[in-house]
A and B are shown apart, each in its own frame.
Chain A
């Protein structure tokens, strides 16, 4: 398997161009699905390879529970730089598992806490909370899924804009956007090179809900105004970016996108445009990543199978 085992660890870099371009050129629905899929495949491949390298690394440690045959010179020869990489892979894989576990745990905790907070209220789909802090969230939860809005936010919006807000949150729930967000969140934990994909997907998921809301309300402008007003009301929590170097944040980009023409529904970009090239690059990176991790896994399995005395 040779150096191939390390490829899936760095191949996520091929997805960076498309993470940047997809949000501008693809329909948000297509972009969200494409980027999440790429992120998940790459994260799985990268973790598999980390695991394979770790097997060799662990087999060298005295007192490990693995069969002795696994530290055979043959097995070590299959992984380049087995001494350094093998041992480095142990803490790396542990860090990945801990980080993913924490992300998953936090996801469950916040959802449970939020549902618990709403216990005792009538089981309506939309919950309006009397609160001076403006916010709105889509709270997933199967049949208990709810849209939570505060009076502070609703008071600032016109009736049509309120409908846009509800349609946006409902779109999050019906399309199950929390699953995409959780998937890319876990992927970004599994391989830090996948972080730009997480940022891109959290933007495209919002855009997806914006477009669905625009269709439900029948006016892109109304959705744009609802987002703009809501952001200006709740601007008390600034994102930490360096002043002066800050590119426009996600909210102005969403508003600008809604004020522009609707994104094309089905057209897949030609391979000769920038986004087409980037998409093909990401697809090729994902394919190579999947192939080399599969190749490494099979090789490793065969070697270990041969090396294990039965």
Chain B
């Protein structure tokens, strides 16, 4: 029930992070939060932009350096990197995710690795 209420908000956050990141990606050099806010359009508060940038910083997706009294921001990775980070969090939260998502391979048992190497060795040799 809690998640039902947070659902739309979270999605919005994810989209905003992606938006901010795409704007940062367009910049040729480290830019200020104000510049990001301008490029995003006027419907976002400055503090919101700062919040999103700080969250992206915590995820290691952007970096910042001091520039006078404020910070200049640069993307550390692109949107795919951010998506990878979020995906890992979803997967890590599920102890038994194979029950939901069909995984390409499951974990190997104690003897499986030896057996597998034998099988592959045989198949490669022929």
Contact = CB atoms under 8 A, between A and B. Distances in A.
B104 A137 contact: yes
B115 to A, nearest CB: 4
Nearest to A164: B104
B15 A136 contact: no
Main secondary structure of the interface of B (DSSP, over half): helix
A251 B122 contact: no
B96 to A, nearest CB: 8
Interface in B76-116: 77, 79-84, 86-91, 93-94, 97-113, 115-116
B120 A130 contact: no
A130 B101 contact: no
Contact of B102 (A106, A130, A177, A250): A177
Given A117-B87, A232-B117, A252 B103 contact: no
Give the size category of B's interface with A. Answer: 35 or more
A116 B10 CA distance: 9
A238 B107 contact: yes
B111 A248 contact: yes
Contact of B89 (A117, A127, A172, A227): A117
A119 B108 contact: no
A89 interface: no
A224 B123 contact: yes
A273 B108 CA distance: 32
A77 interface: no
Contacts of A241: 109-110
B13 to A, nearest CB: 10
Interface string A124-136: 0001111101011
B14 A120 contact: yes
A114 interface: yes
A183 B75 CA distance: 43
Interface in A172-225: 172, 177-178, 181, 185, 202, 205-206, 209, 221, 224-225
A120 B79 contact: yes
B26 interface: no
Interface residues of A, number: 68
A120 B16 CA distance: 9
A251 B109 CA distance: 9
Contacts of B69: none
A310 interface: no
Interface string B1-39: 001000100110011011100100000000000000000
A232 B115 CA distance: 11
B119 interface: yes
A264 interface: no
A249 B113 CA distance: 10
A272 to B, nearest CB: 32
Interface in A218-240: 221, 224-225, 227-232, 234-235, 237-239
B120 A137 contact: no
A225 B86 CA distance: 30
Interface of A: 103, 106-107, 109-114, 116-121, 127-131, 133, 135-139, 148, 150, 153, 165, 168-169, 172, 177-178, 181, 185, 202, 205-206, 209, 221, 224-225, 227-232, 234-235, 237-239, 241, 243-244, 246-252, 255-256, 259
14 contacts: A103-B99, A120-B18, A120-B22, A129-B83, A135-B103, A136-B105, A137-B103, A169-B102, A224-B123, A225-B123, A234-B107, A246-B111, A249-B107, A252-B112
Given A110-B101, A231-B116, A232-B116, 14 more contacts: A110-B100, A116-B10, A116-B14, A117-B89, A118-B86, A120-B15, A120-B82, A129-B87, A130-B80, A131-B84, A137-B101, A209-B102, A239-B109, A251-B105
